[in-house]
């Protein structure tokens, strides 16, 4: 069994994802990771939920302008740096957030030693 992956996401974006209101996490690079990922709220040391990451695609200005319901970003200038959408679905908030050991230097991904169950 492979290690579970934890994706670090800042507020308010993590809450929008967990509430089912945001299905694209905007990043600056593509990801090869797919499958179930656990959502970690940046700076808290807590796993807050999980979702399915199905892949990524580049977002042009035209796509951005027609996809607000997916990304929930109002400032189009952010697209200059964060122009890759990581496609998320099936987000579910954990009933009780789970603490984890945050490795020094981890910014985007954390390898979690074991799967977490709800």
CATH of the domain at 81: 2.30.130.30
> What pLDDT shows up at residue 96?
94
Q: Could you list the residue range(s) of the whole structural domain that residue 86 is in?
A: 4-96
Cis peptide before 28 (omega within 30 of 0): no
According to DSSP, residue 80 is labeled G
> What pLDDT shows up at residue 53?
98
pTM of the model: 0.92
With a cut of 80, say whether residue 3 has pLDDT above it.
no
Q: Render pLDDT for 20-70 as a digit per residue (tens, 0 to 9).
A: 999 999 999 999 999 999 999 999 999 999 999 999 999 999 999 999 999
Name 57's bridge partners. Answer: 85
Burial 28-49 (b: 16+ CB within 10 A, else e): eeebeeeeebbbbbeeeeebbb
Q: Per-residue pLDDT averaged across 83-91, rounded? A: 98
Residue 116 lies in a domain: no
Residue 111 lies in a domain: no
Residue 115 lies in a domain: no
Residue 19 lies in a domain: yes
């Amino acid at each position: 069994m492979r290690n579970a992956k934890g994706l670090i996401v800042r507020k308010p974006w993590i809450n929008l994802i967990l509430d089912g209101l945001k299905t694209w996490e905007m990043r600056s690079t593509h990801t090869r990771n797919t499958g179930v990922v656990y959502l970690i709220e940046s700076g808290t040391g807590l796993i807050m939920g999980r979702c399915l990451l199905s892949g990524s695609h580049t977002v042009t200005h035209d796509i951005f302008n027609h996809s607000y319901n997916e990304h929930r970003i109002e400032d189009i200038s952010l697209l200059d740096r964060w122009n890759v959408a990581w496609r998320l679905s099936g987000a579910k908030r954990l009933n009780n957030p789970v603490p984890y050991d945050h490795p020094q230097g981890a910014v985007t991904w954390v390898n979690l030693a074991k799967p977490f169950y709800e």
